[in-house]
């Protein structure tokens, strides 16, 4: 599989993954009344990744989403980044993104997290969400690039013994 096909495959699988994740986050509160066991399973599924403090979660149908506003923003931002990916990078070559912009955005979310943890301020859910969307938008550019690069390295290692065997013969 060439680089173009590998990039498209990883990109498409990333879409499937983020749609499933965001769908599960939104379904958890929607299923709470009619299917409480399935709803509970979805909340438990996200518990290792998010504190799920109800006051920090956006409500839907009278119940909190399965993740807090910041986590939801990261997932929503990842989806936004996937929308932007073909326009910014295309599918021809694997290029890592510039680190400066990512570090700037990472710094802003890190400062907000630190300020909240140290109780210097209490950011609103919308600010947490907004900063997380900005940060999450950069993630597909690293995620897709990293997975395609890893895939390529595995393929190269698999071909090395064949190449060495061909030289010895």
Query: Cα Rg for the chain, rounded, in angstroms?
Result: 20
The two three-digit tokens of residue 64, written as one number: 């909190």
The pLDDT value recorded for residue 99 is: 85
Selected residue with higher pLDDT from 1 and 88: 88
Q: Which of 62, 56, 51, 58 shows the shortest CA–CA distance to 22?
A: 58
pLDDT band at 9 (very low <50, low <70, confident <90, very high): very high
Q: How many angstroms separate the CA atoms of 122 and 146, rounded?
A: 34
Q: Which of 105, 132, 152, 139 shows the shortest CA–CA distance to 17?
A: 139
Residue 55 has pLDDT above 90, yes or no: yes
Q: Which residues contact 30 (CB under 8 A, 6 or more apart)?
A: 39, 60, 61
pLDDT band at 44 (very low <50, low <70, confident <90, very high): very high
The pLDDT value recorded for residue 65 is: 98
Residue located via tokens 């749609």: 19
The pLDDT value recorded for residue 17 is: 98
The pLDDT value recorded for residue 107 is: 93
**Residue pair 105/138 in contact by the 8 Å Cβ criterion:** yes
Cα 116 to chain center, whole Å?
22
Every domain of the chain and the residues it spans:
3-154
Q: How many angstroms separate the CA atoms of 115 and 88, rounded?
A: 33
pLDDT in tens, 105-153: 899 999 999 999 999 999 999 999 999 999 999 999 999 988 998 888 8
**Residue pair 144/84 in contact by the 8 Å Cβ criterion:** no
Q: How many angstroms separate the CA atoms of 98 and 142, rounded?
A: 10
């Amino acid at each position: 599989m060439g680089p173009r096909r590998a990039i498209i495959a990883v990109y498409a699988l990333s879409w499937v993954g983020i749609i499933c994740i965001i769908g599960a986050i939104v379904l958890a509160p929607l299923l709470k009344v009619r299917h409480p066991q399935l709803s509970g399973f979805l909340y438990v599924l996200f518990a290792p990744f998010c504190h799920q403090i109800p006051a920090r979660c956006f409500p839907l149908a009278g119940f909190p989403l399965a993740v807090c506003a910041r986590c939801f923003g990261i997932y929503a931002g990842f989806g936004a980044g996937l929308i932007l990916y073909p326009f910014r990078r295309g599918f021809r070559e694997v290029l890592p993104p510039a680190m400066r912009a990512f570090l700037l955005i990472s710094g802003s979310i890190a400062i907000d997290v630190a300020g909240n943890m140290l109780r210097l301020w209490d950011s609103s859910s919308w600010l947490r969400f907004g900063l997380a969307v900005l940060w999450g938008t950069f993630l597909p550019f690293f995620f897709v690039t990293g997975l395609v690069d890893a895939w390529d390295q595995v393929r190269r290692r698999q071909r090395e013994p064949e190449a060495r065997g061909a030289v010895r013969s």
